[in-house]
Amino acid sequence: MLNDRRIIAIIPARSGSKGLPDKNIRLLNGKPLIAYSILQAQEAGLFDEIFLSTDSQEYANIAIQYGANVPFLRSEELASDSASTWDCVREALEQYSRIGQEFDIFVVLQPTSPSRTPNDITNAINEMILTNADSVVSVCEADHYPMCYNILPKNKSLKGFIRPEFLVKTRQELPTYYRINGAIFAVSTSFFSKTQNIYAGNSFAFIMPIERSIDIDTLFDFSLAEYLLTTDSALKMSH
Protein backbone atom coordinates (compact mmCIF):
# COMPACT_ATOMS: atom_id res chain seq x y z
CA MET A 1 0.00 0.00 0.00
CA LEU A 2 1.58 3.28 -1.15
CA ASN A 3 5.00 1.69 -1.63
CA ASP A 4 4.47 -0.59 1.36
CA ARG A 5 3.96 2.27 3.81
CA ARG A 6 1.71 1.32 6.70
CA ILE A 7 -0.77 4.05 7.56
CA ILE A 8 -3.01 4.50 10.60
CA ALA A 9 -5.92 6.90 10.96
CA ILE A 10 -6.19 8.26 14.49
CA ILE A 11 -9.53 9.82 15.41
CA PRO A 12 -9.27 11.62 18.78
CA ALA A 13 -12.60 11.65 20.61
CA ARG A 14 -12.42 12.49 24.28
CA SER A 15 -15.70 12.36 26.18
CA GLY A 16 -17.05 15.18 28.30
CA SER A 17 -16.70 18.24 26.07
CA LYS A 18 -17.49 21.39 28.07
CA GLY A 19 -18.53 23.68 25.19
CA LEU A 20 -20.97 21.21 23.61
CA PRO A 21 -21.48 18.19 25.90
CA ASP A 22 -20.81 14.84 24.22
CA LYS A 23 -20.45 16.58 20.86
CA ASN A 24 -18.37 13.70 19.47
CA ILE A 25 -21.34 11.34 19.63
CA ARG A 26 -24.07 13.94 19.09
CA LEU A 27 -26.28 12.94 16.15
CA LEU A 28 -25.55 14.87 12.97
CA ASN A 29 -28.15 14.08 10.31
CA GLY A 30 -28.85 10.77 12.02
CA LYS A 31 -25.25 9.63 12.59
CA PRO A 32 -23.00 10.23 15.61
CA LEU A 33 -20.34 12.81 14.81
CA ILE A 34 -17.45 10.33 15.14
CA ALA A 35 -19.05 8.15 12.45
CA TYR A 36 -18.26 10.67 9.71
CA SER A 37 -14.50 10.48 10.20
CA ILE A 38 -14.59 6.69 10.49
CA LEU A 39 -16.59 6.28 7.29
CA GLN A 40 -14.45 8.83 5.43
CA ALA A 41 -11.30 6.95 6.44
CA GLN A 42 -12.82 3.68 5.26
CA GLU A 43 -13.84 5.14 1.90
CA ALA A 44 -10.40 6.70 1.40
CA GLY A 45 -9.14 3.12 1.26
CA LEU A 46 -5.54 3.86 2.27
CA PHE A 47 -5.48 2.86 5.93
CA ASP A 48 -4.16 -0.32 7.48
CA GLU A 49 -5.83 0.65 10.76
CA ILE A 50 -8.59 3.06 11.76
CA PHE A 51 -8.29 3.79 15.47
CA LEU A 52 -10.56 5.82 17.74
CA SER A 53 -8.62 7.35 20.63
CA THR A 54 -11.07 7.76 23.50
CA ASP A 55 -11.38 7.49 27.25
CA SER A 56 -15.01 6.31 26.99
CA GLN A 57 -16.19 2.74 26.54
CA GLU A 58 -19.50 4.12 25.24
CA TYR A 59 -17.65 6.04 22.52
CA ALA A 60 -15.57 2.96 21.76
CA ASN A 61 -18.68 0.80 21.32
CA ILE A 62 -20.21 3.31 18.90
CA ALA A 63 -16.95 3.54 16.93
CA ILE A 64 -16.71 -0.24 16.64
CA GLN A 65 -20.26 -0.36 15.27
CA TYR A 66 -19.11 1.91 12.42
CA GLY A 67 -15.97 -0.10 11.70
CA ALA A 68 -13.19 1.51 13.75
CA ASN A 69 -10.86 -0.42 16.03
CA VAL A 70 -10.42 0.41 19.71
CA PRO A 71 -7.99 -2.17 21.15
CA PHE A 72 -7.37 0.04 24.19
CA LEU A 73 -8.75 3.17 25.85
CA ARG A 74 -6.76 6.27 26.66
CA SER A 75 -4.92 6.33 29.92
CA GLU A 76 -6.57 8.28 32.74
CA GLU A 77 -3.95 11.02 32.57
CA LEU A 78 -4.86 11.73 28.93
CA ALA A 79 -8.61 11.82 29.57
CA SER A 80 -8.66 15.41 30.81
CA ASP A 81 -9.29 18.51 28.69
CA SER A 82 -5.69 19.60 29.32
CA ALA A 83 -4.26 16.62 27.41
CA SER A 84 -3.10 17.48 23.90
CA THR A 85 -3.97 15.56 20.75
CA TRP A 86 -0.26 14.92 20.20
CA ASP A 87 0.13 13.31 23.63
CA CYS A 88 -2.72 10.98 22.69
CA VAL A 89 -1.06 10.21 19.35
CA ARG A 90 2.20 9.29 21.08
CA GLU A 91 0.37 7.02 23.48
CA ALA A 92 -1.54 5.35 20.63
CA LEU A 93 1.62 4.66 18.62
CA GLU A 94 3.36 3.28 21.72
CA GLN A 95 0.41 1.03 22.56
CA TYR A 96 0.24 -0.31 19.00
CA SER A 97 3.99 -0.92 19.06
CA ARG A 98 3.52 -3.05 22.19
CA ILE A 99 1.12 -5.32 20.30
CA GLY A 100 3.50 -5.61 17.36
CA GLN A 101 2.01 -3.02 15.00
CA GLU A 102 4.20 -0.26 13.58
CA PHE A 103 3.16 2.49 11.16
CA ASP A 104 5.08 4.70 8.78
CA ILE A 105 2.46 7.45 8.63
CA PHE A 106 -0.33 8.49 10.93
CA VAL A 107 -3.23 10.73 9.92
CA VAL A 108 -5.17 12.59 12.60
CA LEU A 109 -8.81 13.05 11.57
CA GLN A 110 -10.58 15.20 14.12
CA PRO A 111 -14.24 14.18 14.44
CA THR A 112 -15.18 17.87 14.57
CA SER A 113 -14.44 18.15 10.81
CA PRO A 114 -17.33 16.17 9.29
CA SER A 115 -17.44 18.14 6.02
CA ARG A 116 -14.08 16.88 4.75
CA THR A 117 -14.38 14.21 2.06
CA PRO A 118 -12.62 10.88 1.51
CA ASN A 119 -10.94 12.47 -1.52
CA ASP A 120 -9.51 15.20 0.70
CA ILE A 121 -7.89 12.53 2.85
CA THR A 122 -6.58 10.59 -0.15
CA ASN A 123 -5.21 13.70 -1.85
CA ALA A 124 -3.48 14.93 1.31
CA ILE A 125 -1.73 11.57 1.77
CA ASN A 126 -0.76 11.45 -1.89
CA GLU A 127 0.66 14.96 -1.61
CA MET A 128 2.73 13.80 1.35
CA ILE A 129 4.11 10.86 -0.61
CA LEU A 130 4.81 12.86 -3.78
CA THR A 131 6.62 15.66 -1.95
CA ASN A 132 8.41 13.29 0.43
CA ALA A 133 7.08 15.51 3.22
CA ASP A 134 7.50 15.03 6.95
CA SER A 135 3.97 16.36 7.39
CA VAL A 136 1.03 17.68 5.41
CA VAL A 137 -1.61 19.76 7.19
CA SER A 138 -4.92 20.94 5.78
CA VAL A 139 -5.64 24.65 5.53
CA CYS A 140 -8.28 26.91 4.01
CA GLU A 141 -8.50 30.59 3.22
CA ALA A 142 -9.00 32.68 6.35
CA ASP A 143 -12.56 33.83 6.97
CA HIS A 144 -11.36 37.30 7.96
CA TYR A 145 -8.15 39.22 7.40
CA PRO A 146 -5.88 38.96 10.44
CA MET A 147 -5.19 42.70 10.34
CA CYS A 148 -8.84 43.19 11.37
CA TYR A 149 -8.06 41.58 14.73
CA ASN A 150 -6.45 43.25 17.73
CA ILE A 151 -6.84 43.55 21.46
CA LEU A 152 -8.93 46.38 22.96
CA PRO A 153 -7.93 48.65 25.84
CA LYS A 154 -10.36 49.15 28.72
CA ASN A 155 -11.79 52.30 27.14
CA LYS A 156 -12.40 50.41 23.85
CA SER A 157 -10.43 52.94 21.84
CA LEU A 158 -9.75 51.93 18.23
CA LYS A 159 -6.70 54.17 17.96
CA GLY A 160 -3.95 52.05 16.40
CA PHE A 161 -6.31 49.06 16.09
CA ILE A 162 -5.38 48.60 12.42
CA ARG A 163 -1.79 49.17 11.36
CA PRO A 164 -1.43 52.28 9.13
CA GLU A 165 0.05 50.37 6.16
CA PHE A 166 -3.17 48.38 5.82
CA LEU A 167 -5.48 51.41 5.93
CA VAL A 168 -4.34 52.52 2.46
CA LYS A 169 -4.71 49.13 0.77
CA THR A 170 -7.74 47.95 -1.16
CA ARG A 171 -9.15 44.45 -0.65
CA GLN A 172 -7.61 43.40 -3.97
CA GLU A 173 -4.15 44.50 -2.81
CA LEU A 174 -4.21 42.44 0.35
CA PRO A 175 -2.43 39.04 0.32
CA THR A 176 -4.38 35.80 0.73
CA TYR A 177 -4.21 34.47 4.28
CA TYR A 178 -4.79 30.85 5.25
CA ARG A 179 -5.67 29.15 8.51
CA ILE A 180 -5.21 25.58 9.68
CA ASN A 181 -8.69 24.07 9.47
CA GLY A 182 -8.15 21.04 11.73
CA ALA A 183 -9.44 18.48 9.22
CA ILE A 184 -6.29 16.51 8.28
CA PHE A 185 -2.84 16.11 9.84
CA ALA A 186 -0.71 13.55 7.98
CA VAL A 187 2.65 12.97 9.65
CA SER A 188 5.63 10.65 9.28
CA THR A 189 5.92 8.63 12.48
CA SER A 190 9.73 8.63 12.36
CA PHE A 191 9.72 12.44 12.07
CA PHE A 192 7.14 12.71 14.86
CA SER A 193 9.29 10.62 17.19
CA LYS A 194 12.09 13.20 16.89
CA THR A 195 10.18 16.46 17.16
CA GLN A 196 7.76 18.43 19.31
CA ASN A 197 6.70 20.56 16.34
CA ILE A 198 5.14 18.93 13.27
CA TYR A 199 5.65 22.15 11.29
CA ALA A 200 9.40 22.28 11.92
CA GLY A 201 10.51 19.91 9.19
CA ASN A 202 9.61 19.45 5.53
CA SER A 203 5.98 20.44 6.08
CA PHE A 204 3.43 21.38 3.41
CA ALA A 205 -0.12 22.74 3.29
CA PHE A 206 -3.02 20.89 1.74
CA ILE A 207 -5.56 23.52 0.68
CA MET A 208 -9.26 22.79 1.18
CA PRO A 209 -12.27 24.98 0.36
CA ILE A 210 -13.92 26.75 3.26
CA GLU A 211 -17.20 24.83 2.90
CA ARG A 212 -15.30 21.60 3.71
CA SER A 213 -13.43 23.23 6.58
CA ILE A 214 -16.05 23.39 9.34
CA ASP A 215 -14.56 22.79 12.79
CA ILE A 216 -17.36 22.08 15.25
CA ASP A 217 -16.94 23.63 18.66
CA THR A 218 -20.33 25.23 19.36
CA LEU A 219 -23.99 24.54 18.74
CA PHE A 220 -23.88 27.12 15.93
CA ASP A 221 -21.03 25.20 14.24
CA PHE A 222 -23.04 22.01 14.60
CA SER A 223 -26.12 23.58 13.04
CA LEU A 224 -24.03 24.97 10.17
CA ALA A 225 -22.51 21.56 9.49
CA GLU A 226 -25.96 19.99 9.53
CA TYR A 227 -27.24 22.57 7.05
CA LEU A 228 -24.31 22.18 4.66
CA LEU A 229 -24.36 18.39 4.74
CA THR A 230 -28.08 18.51 3.97
CA THR A 231 -28.09 21.15 1.23
CA ASP A 232 -24.70 21.01 -0.52
CA SER A 233 -25.03 18.39 -3.26
CA ALA A 234 -21.27 17.74 -3.48
CA LEU A 235 -21.02 17.13 0.26
CA LYS A 236 -24.15 14.96 0.29
CA MET A 237 -22.64 12.72 -2.40
CA SER A 238 -19.39 12.27 -0.47
CA HIS A 239 -21.03 11.41 2.84
At 11 the three-state DSSP class reads: strand
Mean pLDDT across the chain: 90
* pLDDT over 90, % of the chain: 69
Q: State CA 126 to chain mean position distance.
A: 17
User: Which of the following CATH numbers is that of domain 7-139+179-238: 3.50.50.60, 1.10.150.20, 3.30.470.20, 3.90.550.10?
Assistant: 3.90.550.10
Using alpha carbons, select from 130, 162, 125, 127 the residue that is nearest to residue 147: 162
* pLDDT grade for 230, boundaries at 50, 70 and 90: confident
* pLDDT over 70, % of the chain: 93
> So what's the pLDDT on residue 3?
62
Residue 9 clears pLDDT 50, i.e. is over it: yes
Q: What is the pLDDT of residues 70-117, one digit of tens each?
A: 999 998 888 777 778 999 999 999 999 999 999 999 999 999 999 999
- pTM, two decimals, is 0.89
Q: Between 76 and 59, where is the model more confident?
A: 59
Helices (H) and strands (E) in the chain, counts: 8, 8
Using alpha carbons, select from 134, 111, 113, 118 the residue that is nearest to residue 53: 111
Residue 194 clears pLDDT 60, i.e. is over it: yes
Measured distance CA(112)–CA(12) in Å, rounded: 10
